[in-house]
Amino acid sequence: MSETTRDERKTLVLTGASRGIGHATVKRFSREGWRVITCSRQEFADNCPWPAGPEDHIRVDLSDPEDVGFAVSEIRQRLSANGNTLNALVNNAAISPKTEGGARMDSFKTPMHIWRDVFQVNFFAPIMLARGLFKELQNGKGSIVNVTSIVGSRVHPFAGTAYATSKAALNSLTREMAADFGPAGIRVNAIAPGEIETAILSPGTEEMIDDIPLRRLGQTAEVADVIYFLCSNQSSYVTGSELHINGGQHV
């Protein structure tokens, strides 16, 4: 695209697009004609199933605060093609470390450096990105969606303490951000998935199905649909909410 031609598509910045829920979200927004700028540790893969090229992918390690700073500058530069306008930011990337044997890391077993990494990726990176992209989000009357989790509000057999508390903190941050960003016309919501069929799930998750009222795991496309709803005008008066996407597991 030449520098003089403005890209009129709505634009989403999405972290953690290479797999799972993020992958389904890129597909959903691309189908609706959005430009999607993806951020993850991996380089752009040529076999990506959506039309965007490497110019819409940013390699960033969200566990490194300095790298997040570089990514913010890079994203702002790339948004100049859209008149410095950003319509949505989805903070989806997260880590959920387990012990070497794959067991849950509880409050005793979680080394402090892991606790810090989890909070940097799952909690600090979202606010760093949102603050760094504030002007562009304001220009686009944008919507921020923070991906939390059902484990932010209850102890879970597989999810570790650091992961669970980072998600609880991200939900509180969503409320605070909704209050702070609202006057600029920016909506901030969270979605809290339950057991969604992705690589993050631990062996044994199937046994939890009996406790889920809808008696099945969720699909990534079902999560992407709710994210899309929260970034569309259909939810223009919704902010500061955390929506459960868990087949009723929270009841």
Ligand X SMILES: NC(=O)c1ccc[n+]([C@@H]2O[C@H](COP(=O)([O-])OP(=O)(O)OC[C@H]3O[C@@H](n4cnc5c(N)ncnc54)[C@H](OP(=O)(O)O)[C@@H]3O)[C@@H](O)[C@H]2O)c1
The residues assigned a catalytic role are 163
**Interaction of residue 128 with ligand X, rule CB under 6 A:** no
Stretch binding ligand X (CB under 6 A), from 54-62, 131-139, 173-181, 230-238: 54-62
Are residues 13 and 133 in contact, defined by beta-carbon separation less than 8 angstroms?
A: yes
The conformational region for residue 55 under phi > 0 = left, psi -120 to 50 = alpha, else beta, is: alpha
**Interaction of residue 189 with ligand X, rule CB under 6 A:** no
* Nearest-approach distance from CB 20 to ligand X, in angstroms: 2
Pairwise CA distance, residues 246 & 194, whole Å: 4
Among 42, 77, 99, 107, binds ligand X (CB under 6 A): 42
DSSP 8-state class, residue 11: E
Among 14, 144, 196, 231, binds ligand X (CB under 6 A): 196
SS3 content of the chain, % helix, strand, coil (to 5): 45, 15, 40
**Interaction of residue 40 with ligand X, rule CB under 6 A:** yes
Are residues 222 and 247 in contact, defined by beta-carbon separation less than 8 angstroms?
A: no
Among 9, 27, 41, 135, binds ligand X (CB under 6 A): 41
**Interaction of residue 226 with ligand X, rule CB under 6 A:** no
Binding map of ligand X across residues 148-167, x = CB under 6 A, - = no contact: -x------------------
Stretch binding ligand X (CB under 6 A), from 47-55, 126-134, 188-196, 227-235: 188-196
List, as one string, the DSSP characters of 55-105.
Answer: GGEEE--TTSHHHHHHHHHHHHHHGGGGTS---EEEE--------TTS---
Are residues 83 and 76 in contact, defined by beta-carbon separation less than 8 angstroms?
A: no
Closer to ligand X by Cβ: residue 168 or 201: 201
Site for ligand X in 88-117 (CB under 6 A): 92-95
Burial of 113 (0-12, 13-18, 19+ CB in 10 A): exposed
Closer to ligand X by Cβ: residue 157 or 185: 157
* Nearest-approach distance from CB 1 to ligand X, in angstroms: 26
* Nearest-approach distance from CB 218 to ligand X, in angstroms: 7
Helix (H) or strand (E) holding 173: helix 161-181
Residues lying near ligand X in the complex (CB under 6 A) are found at 15-22, 40-42, 60-63, 92-95, 121, 147, 149, 193, 195-196, 198-201
